[in-house]
């Protein structure tokens, strides 16, 4: 029974590996649990809409302002100025204006809603491996070592790669950690509040096309509103009369006047950046400035302006690395450092044997503190930042819980303390924090709170037993919980 389950769990794992964009796992029990998508347990400070299709930063107020400004100004232009201009000049004007407007809106939405190139955080195994390497290199000391850096030589230039303490990775060159979104972003340009998102590798071209087309649009509107006023005043004999006839034009002129300076300036700046293949970040820091040294040059530049522009705007668009709409399910069993509570697992293992992945050798635990889930059938309710969740054989336990929220005695596995997400789920606890610890304890100590799911007969007693067992070693052997979880097939410490 144990083996059969392990095989099916691995089968799920196998099918995950076999294709990148695999459909949700073909498990016989998939219909019974509400599947969670990975965006729901995303560790960064992003907001997701449309079931993970749209991704934005946390603060989106300024984005709505941008949208309102564009819509109102263009609306007024089309309503009040275009009829006159179409009649007295040419109908091409509103058509061109319309095309520009649609283009601006399209690129704005594309910039705001897409993934800028967020790097998923390291899995606990990766993080542990890196830590080990760094310790070996530094020699372990009692205090926290200085910021870790790695030097690489790229096309003749020495570049320092910094270690990101939040994401637990060495940032690739040109990547940077956005403190607003709490993500590392590839080829990080800047965080744009007007667009409500970071600008990085995947949406830089849309951002550039947005500001370029917006500068054309503002100049266009500005020019033709002025033309409209002038024509009208010559028709109506008087500048003030013309303004009285078309009061909206005043507003448009004001908005466009102030926009032109900033937008056109920004477009020019980004044109320069693209042609020299630099990011805003690098330019501001003067990373490749000749002032730093005679031999300082940009190792990423392709040499000539045309190639740089083409590469930035027409190069291949890499896919999103964070797989927002993928389903959260079981992953490979975790490696974990040796634990001191091995004997305790014996009893729980036999009980959970029909549910869990067979990893009897998983006596080691990861360096990340982890919380045990008390109710393994709570497949849909494991949010954790590293997209932990149930899948495969664990879904065999029918879900009795009506809601996955705090009412259940389930806790989710999650990574270390410093990665506690801002949007922590209600039932995602970090047991290293005393307050939540108590909550967790409370959950553990009241196993009777768990609604007894129908058909969960073989599990009822083991669950009850496992609760007490877990409660027993919850505090001191907290690190063993990872093993516990993996044994029960509950841990999926994936890259998300």
Partner 1 sequence: MFCLLAETSFHNLQELRHNASLANKVFIQRDYSEGTTCKFQTKFPSELESRIERTLFEDTVKTLNNYYTEAEKIGGQSYLEGCLACATAYLIFLCMETRYEKVLKKIAKYIQEQNEKIYAPRGLLITDPIERGMRVIEISIYEDRGSSGCSSGSSSVSSSTAR
Residue 306 touching partner 1 (CB under 8 A):
no
- Is 283 one of the binding residues for partner 1 (CB under 8 A)? no
Span of 89-97, 304-312, 415-423, 463-471 interacting with partner 1 by CB under 8 A: 304-312
Nearest to partner 1 of 247, 346 (CB atom): 346
Nearer CB in complex with partner 1: 80/206: 206
358, 372, 381, 459: which one binds partner 1 (CB under 8 A): 358
d(CA 72, CA 384): 42
By CB under 8 A, what part of segment 386-415 binds partner 1? Answer: none
Report the site for partner 1 in 359-388 (rule: CB under 8 A): 359-363
Binding part of the chain for partner 1, among 60-68, 155-163, 213-221, 260-268 by CB under 8 A, reads 155-163
119 scored as a contact of partner 1 (CB under 8 A) = yes
**Residue 47 three-state SS:** strand
Three state DSSP letters for 356-412: CCCCCCCCECCCCCCCCCCCCCCHHHCCCCCCCCCCHHHHHCCCCCCCCCCCCCCCC
User: Residue 435, CB half-sphere, CA atoms under 13 Å: how many?
Assistant: 2
Among 68, 310, 405, 426, binds partner 1 (CB under 8 A): 310
Question: Given candidates 61, 142, 237, 316, which one binds partner 1 under the rule CB under 8 A?
Answer: 316
Stretch near partner 1 under the rule CB under 8 A, chosen from 75-83, 338-346, 406-414, 474-482: 338-346
At 11, list the tokens. 């089968």
Compare residues 6 and 401 and give the one whose CB is closer to partner 1: 6
User: 55 forms bridges with which residues in the sheet?
Assistant: 48
Edge-first strand listing for the sheet containing 149-154: 149-154, 157-164, 169-170
Contact 73, 255 (CB under 8 A): yes
**What's the count of helices (H) and strands (E) in the chain, helices before strands?**
14, 10
Q: How far is the CB of 331 from partner 1 (least distance, A)?
A: 9
CB-nearer residue toward partner 1: 90 or 155: 155
Phi, psi at residue 192, to the nearest 5°? -105, 110
Closer of 82 and 118 to partner 1 (Cβ): 118
Selected binder of partner 1 within 192, 221, 328, 335 (CB under 8 A): 335
| Site map 167..206 versus partner 1, x via CB under 8 A | --x--xxx-----------xx-------------------
Q: Of the two residues 70 and 253, which places its CB atom closer to partner 1 in the complex?
A: 70
Min. distance of Cβ 411 from partner 1 in angstroms? 24
Pick the binder of partner 1 from 68, 313, 405, 422 (CB under 8 A).
Answer: 313
Q: Which residues of 123-141 are buried (b: 16+ CB within 10 A; e: fewer)?
A: bbbebbebeeeeeeeeeee
If one asks whether residue 17 binds partner 1 (CB under 8 A), the answer comes out as yes
Q: Between 412 and 486, name the residue whose CB sits nearer to partner 1.
A: 486
HSE toward the beta carbon, residue 400, CA cutoff 13 A: 19
239: part of which helix (H) or strand (E)?
A: helix 239-245
For partner 1, the closer of residues 81 and 368 by Cβ is: 368
CA 290-292-295 angle, to 5 degrees, is 60
3-class SS shares of the chain: helix, strand, coil, % to 5 = 50, 10, 45
What are 151-154's contacts with CB under 8 Å, separation 24+? 154/299, 154/300
Residue 314 appears among annotated catalytic residues: no
Q: State both tokens at 405.
A: 């929220």
What is the CB neighbour count within 10 angstroms for residue 244? 11
> Which residues lie across from 364 on neighbouring strands?
338
Q: Which CB atom, from 61 or from 316, has the smaller least distance to partner 1?
A: 316
> What value, to the nearest 5°, has the Cα angle with vertex 289 and ends 288 and 293?
95
Using CA atoms, how far apart are residues 485 and 378, in angstroms rounded to an integer?
Answer: 13
Q: How far apart are CA 206 and CA 199, in angstroms?
A: 9
In sequence order, the 6+-apart residues with CB closer than 8 A to the CB of 350 are none
14 counts as binding partner 1 under rule CB under 8 A: yes
Rounded Cα gap, residues 380 and 391, in angstroms: 9
Cβ of residue 18: shortest distance to partner 1, in angstroms? 5
Nearest of 193, 208, 172 to residue 64 by alpha carbon: 193
Name which of 63 and 345 has its Cβ closer to partner 1. 345
Determine which residue in the list 67, 311, 424, 439 makes contact with partner 1, applying CB under 8 A.
311
For partner 1 (CB under 8 A), the number of binding residues is: 70
Does 303 interact with partner 1 (rule: CB under 8 A)?
Answer: no
453 touches partner 1 (CB under 8 A): no
CA angle (38, 41, 45) in 5-degree steps: 115
Q: Kindly indicate which of the ranges 72-80, 283-291, 353-361, 369-377 contains the residues binding partner 1, using the contact rule CB under 8 A.
A: 353-361
Catalytic residue among 184, 192, 256, 394: 192
| Contact status, residue 166 vs residue 419, Cβ threshold 8 Å | yes
How near is the Cβ of 161 to partner 1 at its closest, in Å? Answer: 7
Contact between 95 and partner 1 per CB under 8 A:
no
Q: Check residue 161 for interaction with partner 1 (CB under 8 A).
A: yes
Residues in touch with partner 1 (CB under 8 A): 2-3, 6-7, 10-11, 13-14, 16-21, 103, 106, 110, 119-120, 122-123, 125-126, 129-130, 152-155, 159, 161, 169, 172-174, 186-187, 209, 299-300, 307, 310-311, 313-319, 321-322, 332-335, 342, 345-346, 349-350, 353, 358-363, 494-495
Catalytic residue numbers?
192
């Amino acid at each position: 029974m144990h083996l059969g389950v392990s095989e099916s769990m691995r089968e799920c794992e196998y099918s995950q590996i076999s294709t990148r964009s695999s459909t949700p796992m073909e498990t016989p029990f998939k219909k019974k649990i509400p599947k969670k998508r990975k965006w729901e347990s995303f560790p960064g400070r992003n907001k997701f809409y449309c079931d993970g299709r749209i991704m934005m930063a946390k603060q989106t107020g300024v984005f709505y302002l941008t949208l309102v400004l564009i819509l109102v100004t263009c609306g007024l232009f089309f309503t009040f100025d275009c009829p006159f201009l179409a009649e007295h000049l040419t109908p091409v004007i509103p058509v061109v204006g319309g095309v520009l407007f649609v283009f601006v809106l399209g690129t704005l939405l594309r910039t705001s809603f897409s993934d800028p190139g967020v790097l998923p955080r390291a899995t606990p195994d990766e993080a542990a491996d890196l830590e080990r390497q760094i310790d070996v290199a530094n020699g372990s000391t009692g205090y926290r070592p200085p910021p870790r850096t790695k030097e690489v030589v790229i096309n003749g230039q020495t570049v320092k790669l910094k270690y990101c303490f939040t994401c637990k990775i060495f940032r690739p060159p040109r990547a940077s950690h956005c403190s607003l979104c709490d993500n590392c972003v590839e080829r990080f340009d800047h965080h744009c509040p007007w667009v409500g998102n970071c600008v990085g590798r995947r949406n830089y071209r849309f951002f550039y096309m947005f500001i370029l087309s917006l500068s054309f649009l503002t100049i266009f509107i500005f020019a033709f509103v002025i033309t409209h006023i002038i024509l009208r005043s010559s028709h109506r004999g008087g500048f003030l009369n013309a303004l009285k006839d078309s009061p909206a034009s005043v507003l448009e002129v004001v908005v466009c006047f102030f926009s032109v300076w900033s937008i056109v300036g920004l477009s020019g700046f980004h044109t320069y950046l693209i042609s020299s293949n630099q990011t805003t970040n690098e330019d501001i820091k003067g990373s490749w400035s000749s002032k730093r040294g005679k031999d300082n040059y940009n190792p990423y530049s392709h040499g000539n302006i045309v190639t740089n522009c083409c590469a930035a705007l027409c190069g291949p668009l890499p896919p999103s690395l964070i797989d927002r709409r993928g389903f959260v399910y079981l992953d490979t069993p975790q490696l974990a450092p040796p634990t001191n509570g091995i004997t305790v697992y014996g009893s729980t293992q036999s009980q959970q044997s029909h549910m869990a992945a067979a990893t009897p050798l998983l006596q080691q635990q990861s360096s990340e503190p982890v919380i045990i889930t008390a109710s393994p059938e709570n497949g849909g309710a494991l949010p954790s930042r590293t997209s932990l969740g149930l899948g495969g054989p664990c879904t065999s336990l029918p879900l009795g819980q009506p809601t996955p929220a705090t009412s259940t005695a389930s806790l989710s596995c999650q990574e270390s303390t410093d990665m506690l997400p801002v949007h922590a789920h209600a039932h995602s606890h970090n047991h290293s924090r005393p307050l939540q610890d108590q909550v967790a304890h409370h959950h553990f100590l009241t196993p009777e709170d768990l609604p007894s799911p129908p058909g969960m007969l073989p599990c009822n007693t083991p669950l009850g037993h496992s609760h007490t067992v877990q409660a027993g070693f919850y505090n001191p052997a907290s690190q063993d919980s990872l093993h516990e979880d993996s044994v029960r097939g509950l841990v999926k410490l994936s890259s998300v």
